[in-house]
Amino acid sequence: MPWHSSLGNRRCVVSDFTFFFPSGCFIGAVNLKSSNRNPVVQEFESVELSCIITDSQTNDPRIEWKKIQDDQTTYVFFDNKIQGDLAGRAELLGKTSLKIWNVTRTDSALYRCEVVARNDRKEIDEIVIELTVQVKPVTPVCRVPKAVPVGKTATLHCQESEGYPRPHYSWYRNDVPLPTDSRANPRFRNSSFLLNSETGTLVFSAVHKEDSGQYYCIASNDAGSARCEEQEMEVYDLNIGGIIGGVLVVLAVLALITLGICCAYRRGYFINNKQDGESYKNPGKPDGVNYIRTDEETQVVVCDLRPGTPVKGRREPGALGQS
């Protein structure tokens, strides 16, 4: 049965065994605690990582701080000095706590406080603190289609990459917040859209004239929010009569072109002119024979250039002077 004893100004509770000492209770073990094991701070602010020695018989214990990030462990405080990227913006507060100024997003990590007390029965104790640095979102990038015909699909995009934790997205039309599902709000019964607050996409399955307006997106997390500039989306009716009329005009033009080509073929504009009848061709002659026409009369003189062959002459049919 545990019992209580007060020695000096200290009150001791010991189970099973009780020891009395002039200065109070002594169990011979170093023990640590923290006032906040999960501190959350915004970027560029300061933070204290609390590590408090509750029990120890060692007057000057060895203190070490280590940073655990991406499965890597590095020293933060070692050999009584601040180490690594915290040098110049951190210090030991009191005996064991760590104070960091101007924290950045890269400071988000696990920090382990280790104490070695050589004069204690249990010489070593440690405590792990998780630091979260929140980052305010920057202006998101928004993409809104300028014009969409009635009945067609449309997708609006909103993206932001700096905020931590990851921001949630909300869309506004004409300064009115849009629900995640148009069917959930009677005010948007004439619309048909879904909003994904995790990815920032706003998808219209079929736009209506009522969906025309000024759109903008807001990215927000626990550190703050940011919005993009308004962009207009116009929803217009398809002019069916105009489309049909245009098609008919094109067909009429093609018909006229075809008719013109047919008429040109019939009139012979695309046929090469040929001489009537067959063209006159000189009769064939043996090797070494030439035909000579005289100027005085239409007479053909056959000159046989072979040795010993006499010159022969004949008149062409229809020659002048023929009886």
The two most distant CA atoms of the chain are separated, in Å, by: 174
Residues 66 and 74: their CA atoms lie apart, in Å, by 6
The fold of the 3-134 domain, in CATH, is Immunoglobulin-like (2.60.40)
CB-hemisphere CA count at 13 Å for 36? 12
CB 212 within 8 A of CB 233: yes
What b/e readout covers 305-315, taking b as 16+ CB neighbours within 10 angstroms?
A: eeeeeeeeeee
Task: Convert the pLDDT of each residue in 20-46 to its tens digit.
Answer: 444 445 457 888 999 999 999 999 999
Q: Residue 85: what pLDDT?
A: 92
CB 66 within 8 A of CB 114: yes
Fold agreement between 3-134 and 141-236? yes
Q: Residue 262: what pLDDT?
A: 82
Chain centroid, CA 43 distance in Å: 26
Q: Please state which CATH number belongs to domain 141-236.
A: 2.60.40.10
Q: Residue 20: what pLDDT?
A: 45
- Letter for the amino acid at 50? S
Q: Residue 127: what pLDDT?
A: 96
Evaluate if pTM is beyond 0.75: no
**What are the distances in angstroms from CA 98 to CA 66, 133, 323?**
11, 16, 142
Q: Residue 58: what pLDDT?
A: 83
Q: Where are the domains of the chain?
A: 3-134, 141-236, 287-318
Intervals of the chain under pLDDT 50: 1-24, 26, 274-277, 280, 297-298, 300-301, 311, 318-323
Q: Residue 159: what pLDDT?
A: 97
